Amino acid sequence: MRTITNHTSTPDIVRGTPGRGIRRASVACLLGALVSAGLLGCDPAAPPQTSPPQASSAQASPTGAGAGGTVAASPSAPPVGLTELPDAAFLVPADLGTGFRVLTDEPMGDGFEYSLDYCRRNGQWDGTPEGPSGSSMSAKTARQVVFAGPDSFLSLQWIWALPSVDQARQAMAHARAGFEHCAVVKLNGATDTFTILKSGFAGDESMLVRHGERHLLLFVRAGAAYASVDLARSFDAARAEALADLAVQRICDATPTC
């Protein structure tokens, strides 16, 4: 069993390395799928993150001011595109529940994106609707945080800051199409399943997906921000929906996109 270091309550936001992540594919393959769809053009020249960013004071409460002291945009203001993701846009361990903590290393293993990739190679899905091209992603606009629960099961949040609301909509449409076309996937003699349980319960768009018998995947869009949360097995649908509201609130409080 992996040894997990218990960190302080101030989370370190860590950026994933393409090709590795929570159950390996959970960190990287979704990013790869969006790249192949034309949504993300990863910027290889982006400078590596040499030290963990300092958490904004807004992370203490989902109703705080945005990064740099900027108050979140009024609900009546038009949503805008994003060029960076402040730390305060991410969930914190207390949002997930008692006993959760941030991990600073990258767990290994296969996740749901491996099955979606296999689905495409099987010819079940052609990857459409395609996402818009020309999005240049970097360490500032595609970031992750990994949480370990008290039972040592992991949850992973990715957020993508996209240049426009339309591109964020395309990201959600691409993900939804994948789960619809790949509801049953045959791979290596096994069967993997995906079921969209509910939509439209948080933010501008949201989707709750059951992977297999009880593993839940959460997706939300707030303005030009698109986020996924690969949830630990201890989460049920009610907890997942409540977490979706928190995820959206943190994005909206920390950025002007809402």
Model confidence pLDDT, tens digit, residues 147-170: 999 998 999 999 999 999 999 999
pLDDT of 76: 57
Asked if 159 and 222 count as a contact pair (C-beta separation under 8 A), the reply is: no
The model carries a pTM of 0.72
Residue 211, beta-bridge partner list: 194, 215
Domain housing 174: 25-42+56-66+78-254
Tally of domains within the chain: 1
Find where tokens 């767990």 sit.
107
Residue 172 placed within a domain: yes
Find where tokens 């945080």 sit.
145
Residue 182 placed within a domain: yes
Spatial CA neighbour of 139 closest among 99, 87, 194: 87
Residue 206 token pair: 């949201």
Residue 119 belongs to what H/E stretch? helix 112-121
Find where tokens 């960013």 sit.
53
The CATH number of whichever domain residue 111 belongs to comes to 3.40.1000
Better-scored residue on pLDDT, 39 or 212: 212
pLDDT digits (tens, 9 = 90+) for 95-139: 999 999 999 877 666 678 889 989 999 999 999 987 545 445 678
Asked if 79 and 254 count as a contact pair (C-beta separation under 8 A), the reply is: no
Asked if 217 and 211 count as a contact pair (C-beta separation under 8 A), the reply is: yes
Cis peptide before 129 (omega within 30 of 0): yes
Better-scored residue on pLDDT, 171 or 59: 171
Residue 245 placed within a domain: yes
Residue 1 placed within a domain: no
Query: Is residue 169 helix, strand or coil?
Result: helix
- Predicted confidence band of residue 210 (pLDDT cuts 50, 70, 90): very high
